[in-house]
């Protein structure tokens, strides 16, 4: 079984056929998906979406995969987060079904949709919330490697586990993440001709990486340009296996074990 550790199931591009998406995932061997929230309102939307799903092996014509959720604030939405954000986030994380991680949070200086200071403050707040709740962090980092490094180190020293998602392959940041006890996860980016992080995929230890689609974005080759969905994880698994010189089955079993270890409250 495979696990898609990062997908945005509340995205409008999944609104019309979500159950089909989850059934196709199950048919493709993807037994579970972690649905990632981008804002506090989105976290509520993700929670409601989960509550409305039929049972995984219920009356639907085909079984669906399992779904877990996170709650957090993406750096794109970090501008002017209100002072009650901490309380709202803590409250949202604890609601049923309980969130399995804080995020996605982090730093994105590529788009700069929010001022850097606001991004740092929102990220810091979520590191503290992760520390307080004992939940792991799902972290987004784009063109912010040097700013990210000390924050990962500090979180690691504080015993807060995290994953650098959609990891593009920066070797220095990989080393920092490994030293901090963190994970990285790989998307369809590894299948792109332009991918230049091959060494990072080869170097990361067996027990320190996971797979994800980041759907609806980042569809792997041969689906590039289409909506990405959890059923596409096998293409990412196969490319990672090829780069690491391992069997696809062993990449599947190690990454699933890693996901279960990283998200202790996953439940599947
Ligand atoms: Zn992201
Ligand atoms: Zn994402």
Q: How far is the CA of 111 from the centre of ligand 2 (A)?
A: 14
Supply 169's token pair.
């392959």
Q: How far is the CA of 215 from the centre of ligand 2 (A)?
A: 8
What is the band of 82 on the pLDDT scale with cuts at 50, 70, 90? confident
Q: How far is the CA of 217 from the centre of ligand 2 (A)?
A: 8
Question: Looking at the predicted structure, is the pLDDT value of residue 80 above 90?
Answer: no
Question: Looking at the predicted structure, is the pLDDT value of residue 112 above 90?
Answer: no
Question: Looking at the predicted structure, is the pLDDT value of residue 61 above 90?
Answer: no
Widest distance between CA atoms in the chain: 50
Residue with the bigger pLDDT between 146 and 56: it is 146
Please compute the mean of the pLDDT values over residues 185-194 and round it to a whole number.
97
Please compute the mean of the pLDDT values over residues 248-259 and round it to a whole number.
98
Please compute the mean of the pLDDT values over residues 248-267 and round it to a whole number.
98
Q: How far is the CA of 140 from the centre of ligand 1 (A)?
A: 4
Question: Looking at the predicted structure, is the pLDDT value of residue 246 above 90?
Answer: yes
Question: Looking at the predicted structure, is the pLDDT value of residue 60 above 70?
Answer: no
Ligand nearest to the CA of 108: 1
Q: Which of 81, 9, 1, 71 is nearest to 40 (CA)?
A: 71
Q: How far is the CA of 95 from the centre of ligand 1 (A)?
A: 23
Q: What is the CA radius of gyration of the chain?
A: 17
Q: How far is the CA of 252 from the centre of ligand 1 (A)?
A: 22
Question: Looking at the predicted structure, is the pLDDT value of residue 113 above 70?
Answer: yes
The reported pTM is 0.97
Q: How far is the CA of 63 from the centre of ligand 1 (A)?
A: 28
Ligand nearest to the CA of 140: 1
Supply 148's token pair.
């990210």
Give me the domains of the chain, ranges plus CATH numbers.
Answer: 2-262 (3.20.20.140)
Ligand nearest to the CA of 10: 2
Question: Looking at the predicted structure, is the pLDDT value of residue 191 above 70?
Answer: yes
Q: Which of 10, 3, 12, 5 is nearest to 47 (CA)?
A: 10
Residue with tokens 């689906």: 223
Q: How far is the CA of 60 from the centre of ligand 1 (A)?
A: 32
Residue 81 has a pLDDT of: 82
Using a pLDDT cut of 90, give the percent of the chain over it: 94
Residue 59 has a pLDDT of: 63
Q: How far is the CA of 206 from the centre of ligand 2 (A)?
A: 23
Structure confidence by residue, pLDDT tens digits, 3-58: 999 999 999 999 999 999 999 999 999 999 999 999 999 999 999 999 999 887 76
How far apart, in whole angstroms, are the C-alpha atoms of residue 220 and residue 192?
Answer: 7
Supply 30's token pair.
């993807």
3-state secondary structure the chain: CEEEEEECCCCHHHCCCHHHHHHHHHHCCEEEEEECCCCHHHHHHHHHHHHHCCCCCCCCCCCCCEEEEEECCCHHHCCCCCCCHHHHHHHHHHCCCCCCEEEEEEEECCCCCCCHHHHHHHHHHHHHHHHHHCCCEEEEEECCHHHHHHHHHHHHHCCCCEEECCCCCCHHHHHHHHHCCCEEEECHHHHCCCCCCHHHHHHCCHHHEEECCCECCCCCCCCCCCCCCHHHHHHHHHHHHHHHCCCHHHHHHHHHHHHHHHCCCCCC
Using a pLDDT cut of 70, give the percent of the chain over it: 99
């Amino acid at each position: 079984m495979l696990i898609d550790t990062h997908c945005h199931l509340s995205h409008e591009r999944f609104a019309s056929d979500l159950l089909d998406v989850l059934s196709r995932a199950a048919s493709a061997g993807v037994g579970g998906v972690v649905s990632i929230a981008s804002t506090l309102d989105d976290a509520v939307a993700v929670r409601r979406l989960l509550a409305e799903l039929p049972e995984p092996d219920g009356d639907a014509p085909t079984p669906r995969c399992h779904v877990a959720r996170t709650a957090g604030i993406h750096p794109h939405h970090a501008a002017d987060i209100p002072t009650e954000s901490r309380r709202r986030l803590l409250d949202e994380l604890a609601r049923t079904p309980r969130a399995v991680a804080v995020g996605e949070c982090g730093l994105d200086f590529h788009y700069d949709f929010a001022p850097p200071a606001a991004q740092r403050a929102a990220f810091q707040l979520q590191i503290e919330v992760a520390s307080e709740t004992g939940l792991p962090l799902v972290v987004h980092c784009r063109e912010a490697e040097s700013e990210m490094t000390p924050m990962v180190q500090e979180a690691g020293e504080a015993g807060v586990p995290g994953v650098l998602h959609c990891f593009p392959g920066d070797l220095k940041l990989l080393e920092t993440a490994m030293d901090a006890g963190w994970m990285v996860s790989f998307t369809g980016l590894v299948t792109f001709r332009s991918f230049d992080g091959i060494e990072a995929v080869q170097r990361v230890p067996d027990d320190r990486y996971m797979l994800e689609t980041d759907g609806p974005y980042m569809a792997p080759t041969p689906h590039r340009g289409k909506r990405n969905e959890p059923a596409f994880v096998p293409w990412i698994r196969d490319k990672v296996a090829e780069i690491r010189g391992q069997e696809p089955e062993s990449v599947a079993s190690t990454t699933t074990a890693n996901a279960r270890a990283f998200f202790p409250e996953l439940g599947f």
